Structure 1
Amino acid sequence: MDHFLYRDGVLHAEDVALTDIAASVGTPFYCYSTATLTRHFTLFDEALHGMDHLVCFAMKSNSNLAVLKLIGDLGAGIDVVSMGEYLKARAAGVPGERIVFSGVGKTREEMRTALKGGIRQFNVESEPELEALNEVAIAMGVKAPIAIRVNPDVDAKTHAKIATGKSENKFGIPIAGARDVYARAAKMDGIDVVGIDVHIGSQLIQLDPFEQAFTKVAELTEALRADGINIRRLDLGGGLGIPYERSNEAPPLPMEYGDVIRQTVGHLGCEIEIEPGRLISGNAGVMVSSVIYLKHGEGRDFLIIDAAMNDLIRPSMYDAHHDIVPVVEAVAGAEKSAYDIVGPVCETGDTFAKAREMTALGPDDLVAFRSAGAYGAVMASEYNSRPLIPEVLVNGDQFAVIRARPTYEEMINRDTIPEWL
C-alpha cells in the first residue's frame, strides 16, 4: 500500500496534489510520502514482534537526510556502506549504537571514524578486512564489534546485478570456511565477535531463498557455539521485493518474511537484525516529469519527457519496469496508444519504456513514475550537465523541498580551471 491516489482526477501524495508541487518546484522531481515510509517501517517492526530485534534501514536505497531522520525517529537502525552514509546517518540524529557498517571495501579511515563516533557492529566481508580492523582497533585502544558476513551460496532468483549470495559474488566469505575465520577472529585482541551476517540479494519475490540461507545460518550458529564462540546476534540482511508492476502477483509480505525468520532461527535466542531498504522506501516515492514533445517516428511514437536516465537509471541499468501514469487522470474509456517513453539525454539507452500503453498526452502534461523512492535519487548523476532534481517530502497536507535543484551556476562553479589554462 502507498499513499499516492487520485482525488478529483488528480494524483495526490497524501493530501497534496502533485500538480501543486510541480507548479512550485518545476519538473522533474522526486516526491516521498511520510505516511508510506512510516507504514512500511512499522510493518517490518511488527513482523518481528516478540523477538529481540532491530530494523536497520538500508540507506543506500534512499539517503536523503530528512528521510533518515524520519525513519530514525521511529526507532530504526541504519545500515551504511560508506563513510558518507555513516556521517549522514549521524547527522540525521541516529546514534552510533544503531548503525551497522556493511560493505566489502571499508578503509582504515572509515573504520577509525566509526569506532570514534560509535558503531553497533561492522559486518566484516573478508580476512584482510578483519586483520585491518583488528589493527585499527588495537591502535585506538578499543574492541571493534563484528559480525562476519557469510556467503551461503544460495540462488536468490533475482537480477544478476543485485544477487549477492552466490559463490561467484564478491560478498562475504564462503560459509564452508566460516568456522576457521571465526576461530581466528575470536583470538584477536581488537575484535569482539558478536554475531553472523548474511545477505543474499535484492528484490527477492520468493521466500524459499531466505529459508535456505537462514537455515544455513542457524546451523553455523550452533556449530560456532559448540566451538565456544558466543554468537548472540544474527544480521539477516534485507532484500524483500516490491511490486513494480501493479498487474503482477505481489511479493511476500513482511509478516510472512517474519514467520520464516521465526521458523529458521527463532529457537536460537539471538537478537535479530534485518536491513530492508527497497520495501520501506520504494513505494513511498514517485518521480514526476513533464512531456516535452510527442514525436511520430517510423512505426512508433515517442513521448519525450524532461526526466532522463541520469535522474532514474534503473530502466537503463537493470531493464527495470516502473508503472508510468498520467498525473491528471484520463477520462473513463479514453483511447490508449503505444509510446516509447524517452528522455533528452544523448543515449539510446535513455529509454524508460517501449510500446507502453498510455492515454493521449501532449506537451506540459505530467506523468508520474511509481515505485521510485528506492534507488532513484541516490543513483542519480549530472550526466549531460543536467542538474540533480529536487526531492520533496509530503506530510499530510504539507510539503517541503528536502533537496533543492542546484542552479547551472552552482554546477559550473564546482569545477576549477587551473591558472595555466
Structure 2
Amino acid sequence: MHHFSYRDGALFAEDVDLRRIADEVGTPVYVYSSATIERHYRLYAEAMTRAAGDGKAHVFYAMKANGNLGVLKTLASLGAGADTVSEGEVRKALAAGFPPERLVFSGVGKSESELRFAVEAGIYQVNIETESELDLLSRVASQLGKRQEAVFRVNPDIGAGGHAKITTGSSENKFGVSFEEVGRLYARAANLPGVRMMGLALHIGSQIRETESFEAAYAKMATLVGELRGEGHRVERLDLGGGLGIPYDIPKEFDHGPGLIEAYADMVARVTKGLEVELGFEPGRLIVGNAGILMTRVLHLNPRPSKQFLVVDAAMNDLVRPAMYEAYHEIWPVAEPKPGTPDIAYDVVGPICESGDTFTTGRVLPALKPGDLIAFMTAGAYGASMASTYNQRLLVPEVLVKGAEFAVTRPRQTFEQLLGTDRAPPWLA
C-alpha cells in the first residue's frame, strides 16, 4: 500500500497536492510519504517479531536503498536499526539518530579505516565476508583495546532476485564465505584477540517475490548452526538479510496488502523453530520502495511515423533503474485524466545524450502535452540513492511529506556547488 491518490482532479501525496510541490520546489523532484514508510516498517517489524517466537528479532533498515536524512530519522524514531555498507553510511546513520548498538556493517570490501571507525563507534555487529577481513578486523579492534562482535556472511549457493545484477547468494557472486570454509574460519576466529564471533549471516538477492528460495537458503543455514554448535562453537545470532520484493505494477484501485510479508514470516518461524538464536533482518526496498515517487514535467513531444517520443525533464542520472535493470515503473499523470481523454503509446525519454536514457517504450498513457506533470511510481528505493551528475546535471531535490506538511530534505544542487567540486591542475589554473 502507498499514500498517493487522486483527489479533486490531482494526485496527492498524503494530504499534499503534488502540483504545489512542483510549483515551490521545481521538477524533477523525489517525494516520499512518511505514512507509507511508517506503515511498511511496522507491518514488517511486527511480523518478524512474531516469527522470532521466544527469540529476539532485530530489523536493520538497509539504508543503501534510500539514505535521505528525513527517511532515516523517521525509521530511527520507530526503533529500527540500520544495515550500512560504508563508513559514509555509518556516519549518516549516527547523524540520523540511530544508536551505534543498532548498526550492522555489511559489505564485501571494507577498508582498514572504515573498520576502525565502526569499531570505535561501538556498532552492534560486523558481517565478515572474507578471511582477510577477519584478520584485519581482529588487528584493528585489538589496537583499540576492543573485541568486536561479528558474524560470518555465508554464501549458500542459492541465488535469487529480480535481475542478475541484484542476485547475491550464488557461488558465482562475490559475496560471503563458502559453506566449506565456515567451520575452519569459525575455529580460527575463536583464537583471535579482537573478534567475538556471534553467529552467521546471509543475503541471497533483492526483489524476490516468493518464499521458496529464502526457505532453501535458510534451511541450509539452520543445519549449519547445528553443525557449528556440535563442534563446540557459540552461535547466538542468525542474520537472514533482506531481499523481499515489492510490486512495481500497482493498479490504482488495488491494495496489495501485507500477504507476502506474512507468508515470509510464517516460513521464517517454521525454518528457525528450536534454533534459539536472535534473528536479524535487513529490509530496504520493502520499506521505502512504494513510499516514493519521482515527479517530472513534460518538456517536448517528438512524433515519428512509427512512434511518439515524450521528452521529460528527468533523466537516467536521476532514476537509473530502467536503464540499468530494465526496470518497470508505473507512470501516473499528476492531473487526473478527464473522461474521454484519448490514450497514446509513448516512448518516455529524458534529455541525456544517449539512447539508453529511456524510461519505457510503447507505454500507453492518457494524451499529454508540454508542461504536464507525471509521476514515476514506486521510486523510493534505489532512485535518489543511485543518482549522479552525469551530463553535468544537478542532483535532484528530495521532499518528505507528513500529513498536510512537506519539507525539502535535500535541496536541489546548485551549479556553483556542482562546479565547486572540481579543481584545475596548477599548470592550467
Alpha-carbon offset, residue 246 of structure 1? 2.2
* Residue 312 of structure 1 pairs with residue 316 of structure 2: no
One-letter amino acid matched to 2:61: F
Calculate the TM-score normalised by the size of structure 2: 0.96
Alpha-carbon offset, residue 252 of structure 1? 5.3
One-letter amino acid matched to 1:56: F
Is 2:308–2:346's contact at 8 Å kept on the other side of the alignment?
yes
Deviates further, 270-279 or 45-54:
45-54
Matched residues in 1 for 2:68 and 2:321: separation?
18
Sequence identity of aligned pairs in percent?
A: 52
Q: What corresponds to 1:35 in structure 2?
A: 35
Q: What corresponds to 2:299 in structure 1?
A: 292
Alignment partner for residue 149 of structure 2, among 138, 145, 159? 145
Q: What corresponds to 1:47 in structure 2?
A: 47
Q: What corresponds to 1:277 in structure 2?
A: 284
Q: What corresponds to 2:244 in structure 1?
A: 240
* Residue 186 of structure 1 pairs with residue 190 of structure 2: yes
Is 2:103–2:125's contact at 8 Å kept on the other side of the alignment?
yes
Output aligned runs, 1:14-413, within 5 Å.
14-50=14-50, 51=52, 52-246=56-250, 253-413=260-420
One-letter amino acid matched to 2:218: F
- Alignment deviations for residues 192-221 of structure 1 (CA, whole Å, 9 cap, x no partner): 011110100000011000000110110011
Q: What corresponds to 1:7 in structure 2?
A: 7
Matched residues in 2 for 1:104 and 1:113: separation?
17
- Alignment deviations for residues 114-160 of structure 1 (CA, whole Å, 9 cap, x no partner): 11111110000011111111111111111011110001111315310
One-letter amino acid matched to 2:40: H
Deviates further, 96-105 or 295-304:
295-304
Alpha-carbon offset, residue 48 of structure 1? 1.8
Deviates further, 154-163 or 141-150:
154-163
Alpha-carbon offset, residue 249 of structure 1? 11
One-letter amino acid matched to 2:45: D
Matched residues in 2 for 1:296 and 1:48: separation?
51
Gaps of 5+ in 1: none
Matched residues in 2 for 1:161 and 1:149: separation?
19
Secondary structure of the equivalent of 2:215?
helix
Matched residues in 2 for 1:285 and 1:347: separation?
26
Alpha-carbon offset, residue 418 of structure 1? 2.9
Deviates further, 176-185 or 272-281:
176-185
Secondary structure of the equivalent of 1:264?
helix
Secondary structure of the equivalent of 2:274?
helix
Deviates further, 408-417 or 251-260:
251-260
Is 2:11–2:17's contact at 8 Å kept on the other side of the alignment?
yes
One-letter amino acid matched to 2:176: G
Is 2:161–2:206's contact at 8 Å kept on the other side of the alignment?
no
Is 1:303–1:341's contact at 8 Å kept on the other side of the alignment?
yes
Alpha-carbon offset, residue 419 of structure 1? 3.1
Alpha-carbon offset, residue 49 of structure 1? 2.7
Alpha-carbon offset, residue 184 of structure 1? 1.1
Is 2:209–2:260's contact at 8 Å kept on the other side of the alignment?
no
Is 2:161–2:207's contact at 8 Å kept on the other side of the alignment?
no
Matched residues in 1 for 2:84 and 2:426: separation?
39
Deviates further, 251-260 or 360-369:
251-260
One-letter amino acid matched to 1:135: R
Is 1:121–1:144's contact at 8 Å kept on the other side of the alignment?
yes
One-letter amino acid matched to 2:321: R
Deviates further, 63-72 or 331-340:
331-340
- Alignment deviations for residues 78-127 of structure 1 (CA, whole Å, 9 cap, x no partner): 00000100000000111110000000000110111011111110000011
Alpha-carbon offset, residue 333 of structure 1? 3.9
- Alignment deviations for residues 382-412 of structure 1 (CA, whole Å, 9 cap, x no partner): 0011000100000000000000001112211
Alpha-carbon offset, residue 265 of structure 1? 0.9
- Alignment deviations for residues 353-404 of structure 1 (CA, whole Å, 9 cap, x no partner): 0000011100110000000000000000000110001000000000000000
Alpha-carbon offset, residue 189 of structure 1? 1.4
Secondary structure of the equivalent of 1:45?
helix
Matched residues in 2 for 1:399 and 1:287: separation?
15
Secondary structure of the equivalent of 1:268?
coil
- Alignment deviations for residues 219-255 of structure 1 (CA, whole Å, 9 cap, x no partner): 0111111111111111000000011112699695212
Deviates further, 133-142 or 337-346:
133-142
Gaps of 5+ in 2: none
Alpha-carbon offset, residue 300 of structure 1? 0.6
Calculate the TM-score normalised by the size of structure 1: 0.98
Is 2:10–2:334's contact at 8 Å kept on the other side of the alignment?
yes
Deviates further, 318-327 or 332-341:
332-341
Matched residues in 1 for 2:168 and 2:273: separation?
24
Deviates further, 251-260 or 237-246:
251-260
Is 1:243–1:249's contact at 8 Å kept on the other side of the alignment?
no
Matched residues in 1 for 2:371 and 2:314: separation?
12
